[in-house]
Amino acid sequence: MKLPNKAHVAIVDGENFTVMRNSGQMFEPKLEDAQKPDLTATNYSAGVKHQDDIGQEHGRTDLEELAHGAAAAEWLNAKAISGEISDVLVIADPKTLGEMRRHYHGELEKKLVGEIDKTMTGEPVDRIEKAIADA
């Protein structure tokens, strides 16, 4: 995947949110400047469509995790609208990514350079860089 220099990389799952910057070249990402924005999960309508009896019974749907994904999307939306980010790659597990997509603002969508539906939180930076380069 082509990742522009200085692009932001948001790495998200149902509990974690890390934002890094690419200081490398287009096809050779080098991530640094990791920050963990403080999110307040307030959008519990995020999981309404997942409130089926079977999913709840087996613990497949955690409303806290979905609300966290919505909060991450809202944080990215605010940064895109204010112009603080110009290019962004989102890496998230499939369920979180699906929830985030429901909350993307048009300005954020314009600034997305890609998405990777894979759980990468907690992975070493070199493995994340490889996943980006291989995507």
Average pLDDT in the chain? 88
Predicted local distance difference test score (pLDDT) of residue 65: 84
Predicted local distance difference test score (pLDDT) of residue 64: 79
Instruction: Tell me the whole-structure pTM to 2 decimals.
Output: 0.86
Nearest to 99 by CA among 77, 51, 67: 67
CA distance 93 to 102: 15
Predicted local distance difference test score (pLDDT) of residue 84: 96
Q: Print pLDDT tens along the chain (135 aa).
A: 999 999 999 999 989 999 999 999 999 999 999 999 988 766 555 555 555 555 555 555 577 788 889 999 999 999 999 999 999 999 999 999 999 999 999 999 999 999 999 999 999 999 999 999 999
Predicted local distance difference test score (pLDDT) of residue 25: 94
- Bridge partners (DSSP) of residue 22 are 31
